[in-house]
Amino acid sequence: MPKQYKDGLSAAIHELAEDLHRHGALSKQTMREFDTSCLCQAGNLSPEEIRNIRKREKASQSVFAHYLNVSKN
């Protein structure tokens, strides 16, 4: 799923920040702040929608939770 940016300027800034992060010039925490300020908020998903995404990606609950940085519960 492609990233949804708030606007064109946010897209340019975020892509630059991603490059800097990839090369070690930005910390993970700073990158999270760019994510918050530049990316659109994700909508709420029902448990069934989450399950369908997980199955489509062929990820176990544990692995999927790890990708999202949340607990399996």
What pLDDT does residue 41 have? 86
Tell me the per-residue pLDDT of 24-39, one tens digit each, with 9 for 90 and over: 999 999 999 999 999 9
Select from 73, 13, 29 the least CA-distant residue to 65. 73
What pLDDT does residue 27 have? 95
What pLDDT does residue 73 have? 78
Q: Look at residue 1 and tell me whether its pLDDT is greater than 70.
A: no
